[in-house]
Structure 1
Amino acid sequence: MVPDAANFTASPGETLPPTDTLVTLTYGGNTAVYKFNGTNFIFDSGTNIIIPALAPNQVVDYSVKVDLPAGTPLSTDTEAGFSIPIYIFKDLDGDSRPDALVDEPTQNRTIDRIYTGFLKLTKLARIIDTDGTTEVQSFTNDSNLLNAAMTNGRFIEYKITYKNVSIAPVGSGNITLNAKNTVITEDGDNTTNTWATEIAGKISTSHVMNSVTQTFGTTQYFPAGEQAGTTKATDVAKYEHTPGVVIQPQAQGDFVFRRKVN
């Protein structure tokens, strides 16, 4: 039993792990550690894992531990998981490596995928002119572009997209990474948001009534329901969006709200 990448081709949404990733296999009191060198998993320490005999329908347990190196990117940035192909095979030539099926036909591959986060959240905004329809600045996360186009009377529309970046499992006996009980909170007056900040007693932007759209679920408005005013107390200073569904692998949704620049 070994991790091996020689005959592995990554599918969309997955990639082999970063160089220096350690994979530890444990079975029957023996442990083998392999290090990924950027091309394949090289034996590093311990004892090769050998199962002397395996009868039909016999079940044996083994464990796999993966240690990713420092600086490993987030899966929510790359939209890819790290795949560790594990082979159990009959080693006919004694090289401790699975060969092509034509040479070593008795083999089975399991892919253990590691995700450094799997629910991706993206926030973009665009600027709409005072007529409420003409787009002045398309959706972007560049604050300089948004600030340049944001003048009094125009509208800023925020779009928050959430996506489960994990791959849907194939076959049986797999673990599915579902995102449950998801809640998205947009507070307009904190260290990262200023759209509900009061300046000289006046809120910087005001909620546009009936402007919220959402793929799933419901949205709550704070402090006192959906309202539009010129202060935090009389306007919407915080949105709390609850999709209310299980976000399955590759599923995604949007939450959109619009504010008028004061």
Structure 2
Amino acid sequence: MTTRRSAASVNGQRAAHGDISVSVVNDALLQLTLTSAPAGPVDLGTDITYTWQLANTGLRAVSGVTLSGAPQVYIIAPIPQQNPGQRGVLKTGQVFPAGTLYTTSALGTAPLSASWSSTAPSPLTLATRVAFPVGGSLAAGATSSAIDMIVTVPNGIDASVQMDEIGDAFGTNFVGGSITDQSGDVASNNGDGNADFNEGYVAGAGHGVIQQTPLKKLGSVLVGPSGAPAAVGPTDNNDDYTNKAVNTGIAGREPGQGTDAAGTIVYTNTIQNTGNTSDTFTIDAPTVPAGFLVEVSTNGGTSYTTVSGGGSTTLAIAFASSANILVRITEPLGKTVLTGYDTIIRAASVATPAANNKTIDRLYTGFVRLDKAFSVANGTGVGAATDPVPNAVITYTITYTNVSTSNGDANCVKLTASNVVITEDGLAGTNNWGTYTTNSGAPSDSGSGSAVIVNATKYTDTIASLAAGASAVFTFKRSIN
């Protein structure tokens, strides 16, 4: 602009005068640009290329600042990171401009106050920022060459949290004042001088804008017995199981008969989020025995949702976390005793619907079977070899069997019968052998049971533990009077 002095007299005197012209021009103006590729979502374990470019949009040159050695105009880039979460890793083998510097100083340290070295730290995971020189000065209207920085996204991180990046540019203006700009907006000389990821995601005066790259979310899930979602069944981790047995409707019922009362059992299953992101899981029961009612609680039993008949419920589970569900199964009366009934519980990822896993909650209508048999040995010389004549010996055998499944790994929940007592009383119920026979020898057990004579007409066999699938024989003998 041009300023002129008035020619009018002052205090009655006329002064000599002339014209004074002053030109006002923009000083140096930094504008830092950041682009990245791919745009995302990016797979974990793969690379993101961040490209930096610095322009001087002012009318005077930008001079450098001193970090280490001669003054330079710098682009300072923190290593991209999640917020909250982990930092990426500089890819090895990159070629950066001559004079590139590295620091391991914490991000809370202002860039111009950090300790810088021309030698990359070992390992590279220690690097917190990289300083790229663009020259001792940057002329008015000039733009630096593009500088690529390749960063590897770590594996094993929560993909629901994006990778953040923002950078700073530093220089001095014509009158020696420090100037800085941050990436992410179109304003020049707009930065807080410390790109430490607290600048936010919305443009504003005094700071740039954090640029985000989304990560690819891959759902994965395991569901299994309580505390063992990775349990493996006879085939794989889709047929692991939890075995339980009702104690209602089975008393006095013989093999092949039906239960005479309904029964209900509550199972605990554990769902583990094995995907790379926080996820929600759909829980249903694709296989339910006829007539059974299956309900699922995701809140510790406060409420239940019916999933038999095609119903489902959902449960949100954070990244790398697990949660328990309760499965309440009601068996109607009339079901065959000593039988296992399978309900399949399935958990499916919402993030990746094809990712699902199954477990079996198996309900047994009793699981210890007794089969009694006898044989006659006649060595008296009177009658045939198996004729029940006086002094012939009757051998009674009671085969006891835990009919529940025993296959699958140790994490499958199996049924073990404890403190089983088999009583044979020759005077009880419809038995009459106590009246017409006499004990012959000591009773025995082919397994671990302890068979004893209680009195002249009564025996017991006590089995401390009967594992799934195990079987043994309790034997006693009687001589016919």
TM interval, short-chain normalised: 0.5 to 0.7
Listed one character per residue, the Cα deviations across residues 49-72 of structure 1 (whole Å, up to 9, x for unaligned) are 022x43333122211111111211
**Cα distance in 2 for residues equivalent to 1:34 and 1:243:** 39
1:3 to 285, 300, 305: 285
Count of residue pairs brought into register by the alignment: 194
* Gap change, CA 1:154 and 1:124, over 3 Å in 2: same
Task: Report what 1:38 is aligned to.
Answer: none
Instruction: Report the Cα offset of residue 91 of structure 1.
Output: 5.5
Would you say the 8 A contact 1:22–1:33 is kept in 2? yes
Indicate whether 1:69 and 2:320 are aligned.
Answer: no
Secondary structure at 1:196's aligned position in 2? helix
Q: How does 1:71-110 map to 2 (within 5 A)?
A: 71-75=334-338, 80-90=339-349, 105-110=354-359
Indicate whether 1:56 and 2:319 are aligned.
Answer: yes
Indicate whether 1:111 and 2:360 are aligned.
Answer: yes
Instruction: Report the Cα offset of residue 254 of structure 1.
Output: 0.5
Task: Report what 1:193 is aligned to.
Answer: 431
Task: Report what 1:33 is aligned to.
Answer: 306
**Structure 2: runs of 5 or more not aligned:** 1-282
Indicate whether 1:222 and 2:462 are aligned.
Answer: no
Instruction: Report the Cα offset of residue 105 of structure 1.
Output: 3.9
* Gap change, CA 1:222 and 1:26, over 3 Å in 2: closer
Would you say the 8 A contact 1:127–1:150 is kept in 2? yes
* Gap change, CA 1:172 and 1:248, over 3 Å in 2: closer
Listed one character per residue, the Cα deviations across residues 133-159 of structure 1 (whole Å, up to 9, x for unaligned) are x863xxxxxxxxxxxx53333222110
**Cα distance in 2 for residues equivalent to 1:192 and 1:2:** 49
Would you say the 8 A contact 1:120–1:165 is kept in 2? yes
Would you say the 8 A contact 1:206–1:261 is kept in 2? yes
Instruction: Report the Cα offset of residue 243 of structure 1.
Output: 3.0
The one-letter code matched in structure 2 to 1:180 is S
Would you say the 8 A contact 1:188–1:196 is kept in 2? yes
* Gap change, CA 1:188 and 1:90, over 3 Å in 2: same
**Cα distance in 1 for residues equivalent to 2:368 and 2:333:** 21
Would you say the 8 A contact 1:86–1:111 is kept in 2? yes
**Cα distance in 2 for residues equivalent to 1:49 and 1:150:** 65
Instruction: Report the Cα offset of residue 222 of structure 1.
Output: 2.8
**Structure 1: runs of 5 or more not aligned:** 6-15, 36-41, 93-102, 137-148, 198-203, 224-235
**Cα distance in 1 for residues equivalent to 2:396 and 2:358:** 45
**Cα distance in 1 for residues equivalent to 2:336 and 2:437:** 35
1:254 to 473, 476, 481: 473
Would you say the 8 A contact 1:31–1:49 is kept in 2? no
**Cα distance in 2 for residues equivalent to 1:33 and 1:159:** 46
Q: Which structure ranks higher in relative contact order (CA pairs < 8 Å, sequence separation ≥ 6)?
A: 1
Listed one character per residue, the Cα deviations across residues 107-144 of structure 1 (whole Å, up to 9, x for unaligned) are 11111011111111111112222359x863xxxxxxxx
Secondary structure at 1:49's aligned position in 2? strand
